[in-house]
């Protein structure tokens, strides 16, 4: 489903932890959380790289997108809201955490990345730097 581009390379969440990437949100996913790798479609245009990740049930407030050096980390949790009028005698419920990490090339402009979340699909737009965009050279 995911197409790899030369500008963005995917790694799994376990690889991120093994490579020494440490963050509070990575440590938040405890034994009661189920960590999933969301399916991601990646395509490249002349101006940008677009990532589309399926993250059903994730609210904007529980979505975390970070750049650390040349790494892009996408993480989102599915919230389980307890009912006010109910008291659980026993509950076997686990929350889900989506996590995906990408290594970005130097041809991308990491200062102008934007993201949107609509109907459970996260769209991240990674613009290319002007010097790496295709251009026409006139001949005199």
Global pTM reads 0.69
Ordered per-residue pLDDT tens for the chain, 140 residues: 444 444 555 554 444 333 333 344 444 444 456 788 999 999 999 899 999 999 998 999 999 999 998 999 999 998 776 677 777 777 777 778 999 999 998 899 888 999 999 999 999 999 998 887 778 889 98
Residue 85 lies in a domain: no
Find how far residue 63's CA is from the centre of its chain.
9
Residue 98 lies in a domain: no
Residue 65 lies in a domain: yes
Residue 96 lies in a domain: no
**124: containing domain:** 8-79+106-132
Residue 121 lies in a domain: yes
- Exposed e or buried b per residue across 70-95, where buried means at least 16 C-beta atoms within 10 angstroms of its C-beta: ebbbbbbbbeeeeeeeeeeeeeeeee
CATH code: domain of residue 46: 2.60.40.790
**CA-based nearest residue to 94, from 29, 48, 49, 50:** 29
Tally the domains of the chain. 1
């Amino acid at each position: 489903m995911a197409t790899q581009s030369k500008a963005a390379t995917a790694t799994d969440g376990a690889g991120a932890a093994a490579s020494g990437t440490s963050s509070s949100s990575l440590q938040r996913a405890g034994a009661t959380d189920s960590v999933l790798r969301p399916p991601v479609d990646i395509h490249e245009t002349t101006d940008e790289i677009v990532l589309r990740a399926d993250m059903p049930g994730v609210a904007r407030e529980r979505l975390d997108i970070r750049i650390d050096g040349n790494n892009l980390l996408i993480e989102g949790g599915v919230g389980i809201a307890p009912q006010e009028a109910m008291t659980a005698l026993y509950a076997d419920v686990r929350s889900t955490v989506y996590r995906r990490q990408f290594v970005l090339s130097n041809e991308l402009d990491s200062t102008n990345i934007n993201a949107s979340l609509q109907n459970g699909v996260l769209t991240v737009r990674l613009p290319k730097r002007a010097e790496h965009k295709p251009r026409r050279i006139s001949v005199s």
